[in-house]
Amino acid sequence: DGPQRKKRKSEVAEVDRQLDVLAIGTAVGSILLYSTVKGELQSKLDGGHDNRVNCVRWHQDNCCLYSCSEDKHIVEWNTQTCKVKCKWKGDNSSVTSLCISPDGKMLLSAGRTIKLWDLETKEVYRHFTGHATSVSSLIFTTVKPMNENKPFDGITGLYFLSGAIHDRLLSVWQIRSDRKEKNAVMSFTVTDEPTFIDLTVSEVKEEPVKLAVVCRDGQLHLFEHILNGYCKKPLTSNCTIQIATPGSDGDSTPKPVPILAAAFCTDKQSLLLVYGNTLQPIIEKVSLNTTEPHVCLIRDMQKVLSLKTDVALTKVKTPVVNSDTKVLVPGIPGHSTAVKIPSSGKENKKNKRKPGETEESIEERLGALDIDVSKLKSPGGLPQTDSFAVLLVQGLESNDAEILNRVLNTRKESVIKNTVARMPIHAVIPLLHELTKRLQGNPYSASLMVRWLKSVFTLHASYLSTLPDLIPQLGMLYQLMESRVKTLQKLSRLHGRLFILVTQVAASETVQDATEVNQTAKLVYEDESSEEEGSDDEMIADKDSDENWDEDEEKEEQSDEQHMTVEKEINGDSDLEPENESEEE
């Protein structure tokens, strides 16, 4: 009897020793086993993974542990010997989540696709389509199948739940006997990406599964549903819980308090809520009341969350120094200023100027410290690329139009490229939104913004391609560009027509200009004038023209001929030959 009792106690101690161990996966690939009772590191599991550990799961057999990593492998550990029992490739990409079946014979693993493994043979038992992004959570929702007529093999007929990053749908899958069905049987929709999931496992057929989902936006969604086969539409939450401040004490607007985690209590009728600051979270037990669709709990966070600091550490003691002692201070090499002896306590500590004195400028003070002031001033006075990147981020965060105008109106290609290259990645999408907004403005600003767009797309293309919601983010910009490209053809036609019109108008103007010649004659001859007047006219012509003597001779001959014709007409000799007529003409 005696030895048997001792044996039992040792078994209990062994179980207790295993239950208080916390397994922590690290970024370098090792797993730390931490004893919560002793408060110290118990052992370290090495040699299994080459990359970051994503998920760690204890098996029902306490000395067995499963882990998955970015290196695409799943490892089975023996925690007593701290060695690898088995290692196999889980996926073509990184494995992000694990879950062990209720009977401990199967293992769910997920990267983007979900696989069900037989732990004895380490072979894939079933495939599921999974999510578009990497899966962040896997949980079995039932222990027994809903159809109790068929014999239960430990896995067929069970339901499990999966959630993924950047995905607002939680999918429910059923493990069926046929291999063809790979899609989700139902889904739950939430307001944001799920960060924490807890549920009450359904043990009886009629008992609904209660699901608590904490989202990234700080809200908690409660679902209650009986899992009974396929459901086409996504199910919405029965109740949404939020926490906010009362909005008193000068600040009239209540502020939301984020919920960090939630867990069902053993009675399945109350919840443990974890909310507030991640450094000092508050845990509170709340009874479930799912009759109301929206519940807002008012909690005064300022009274609860007052981070205490040690007051003694903030007090700085100044040593008492005699007037005889000389104090040596560390400073810049070539520090030639005399060290001021600290004034006695009788004098007023505040540095007050006398009425007649003027305060020294910063340049004079730097001069006293032998610092070259000219070196401190930036050459040219223009901000450099580093400051441009900082200015751009500040302008985007504060939405300051003046700063953004100053940065975005630059024309230098090199400055634009360097600024875009040095800006942090999180500011790329806000910059694209700002550029899209400015592209819709006047054409002058659009021509400047296109340069920035070109640099952003060439330098940050790889980052943009990784964003899952890139299409809605850049939808407006794409539509804008498409509409402008569509109008280019029409604009070119209009440009052609306008060009023809303008050239025709210009041509007609030139013709009009050519016809409007100065019609005033330089030389006028009158038939009835005397020879004296003719000689006067000839003298005027001499003055006007440079090549005058040839013209004068010709005109004299013409005048003689005309006199002869007049005389002949008087005499009646008007019958002339046609040739002579033409000559006269």
Q: Is residue 530 part of a domain?
A: no
Q: Residues 215, 217, 222, 226: is their CA dihedral positive or negative?
A: negative
273 and 393 housed in the same domain:
no
The helix (run of H) or strand (run of E) holding residue 486 is helix 475-515
Q: What's the rounded Cα separation, in Å, for the pair 452 and 567?
A: 93
Side chain identity, residue 421: A
Side chain identity, residue 548: N
Q: Are strands 135-140 and 159-164 parallel, antiparallel or unpaired?
A: antiparallel
Beta bridge partners of 223: 211
Q: Is residue 114 part of a domain?
A: yes
Q: Is residue 5 part of a domain?
A: no
Q: Is residue 175 part of a domain?
A: yes
Q: Is residue 239 part of a domain?
A: yes
Q: What does R_g of the chain's alpha carbons equal in angstroms? A: 47
How many domains does one find in the chain?
2
Q: Is residue 457 part of a domain?
A: yes
Domain boundary among 273, 298, 323: 298
Q: What's the rounded Cα separation, in Å, for the pair 276 and 261?
A: 10
Instruction: Encode burial over 140-175: b for 16+ CB neighbours within 10 A, e otherwise.
Output: bbbeebbeeeeeeeebbbbbbbbbbbebbebbbbbb
Please name which of 228, 224, 226, 227 lies closest in space to residue 238, comparing C-alpha atoms: 224
407 and 284 housed in the same domain:
no
Q: Could you give the count of Cα atoms lying within 13 Å of 105 in the half-sphere of its Cβ? A: 7
294 and 424 housed in the same domain:
no
Domain boundary among 283, 298, 313: 298
Q: What's the rounded Cα separation, in Å, for the pair 332 and 415?
A: 35
Q: Is residue 254 part of a domain?
A: yes
Q: What's the rounded Cα separation, in Å, for the pair 79 and 65?
A: 7
The alpha-helical segments, DSSP class H, found in 165-306 are 301-304
Please name which of 158, 119, 164 lies closest in space to residue 138, comparing C-alpha atoms: 164
The alpha-helical segments, DSSP class H, found in 100-241 are none
Q: Are strands 239-244 and 294-298 parallel, antiparallel or unpaired?
A: parallel
Residue pointed to by tokens 């005058």: 548
392 and 281 housed in the same domain:
no
Residue pointed to by tokens 């207790």: 16
Q: What's the rounded Cα separation, in Å, for the pair 199 and 142?
A: 10
106 and 223 housed in the same domain:
yes
Domain of 252 in residue numbering reads as 96-298
407 and 283 housed in the same domain:
no
Domain boundary among 245, 269, 298: 298
Q: How far is CA 413 from the centre of its chain?
A: 23
Q: Is residue 185 part of a domain?
A: yes
135 and 270 housed in the same domain:
yes
According to DSSP, residue 29 is labeled S
Contact yes or no for 22/36 (Cβ under 8 A): yes
282 and 145 housed in the same domain:
yes
- CATH number of the domain that residue 217 is part of: 2.130.10.10
pLDDT tens digits for the chain (585 residues)? 334 333 334 444 444 555 688 999 999 999 999 999 888 999 999 988 999 999 999 998 768 999 999 999 999 999 889 999 999 999 988 999 999 998 888 999 998 889 999 999 999 988 898 888 999 999 988 887 776 667 777 788 888 999 999 899 999 998 887 777 778 889 999 999 999 999 988 777 778 889 999 999 999 999 998 888 888 889 999 999 999 988 766 556 888 899 999 999 988 889 999 998 888 889 999 988 778 889 888 888 766 555 554 444 555 666 666 667 766 655 545 445 554 554 544 444 445 555 556 677 777 776 766 554 444 444 444 555 567 888 888 888 888 888 888 888 888 888 999 999 888 888 999 999 888 888 887 777 888 888 899 999 888 888 888 888 888 888 888 888 888 888 888 888 898 889 889 988 988 888 776 655 667 778 888 887 555 555 555 555 555 555 555 555 555 556 666 666 555 555 555 454 545 544 554
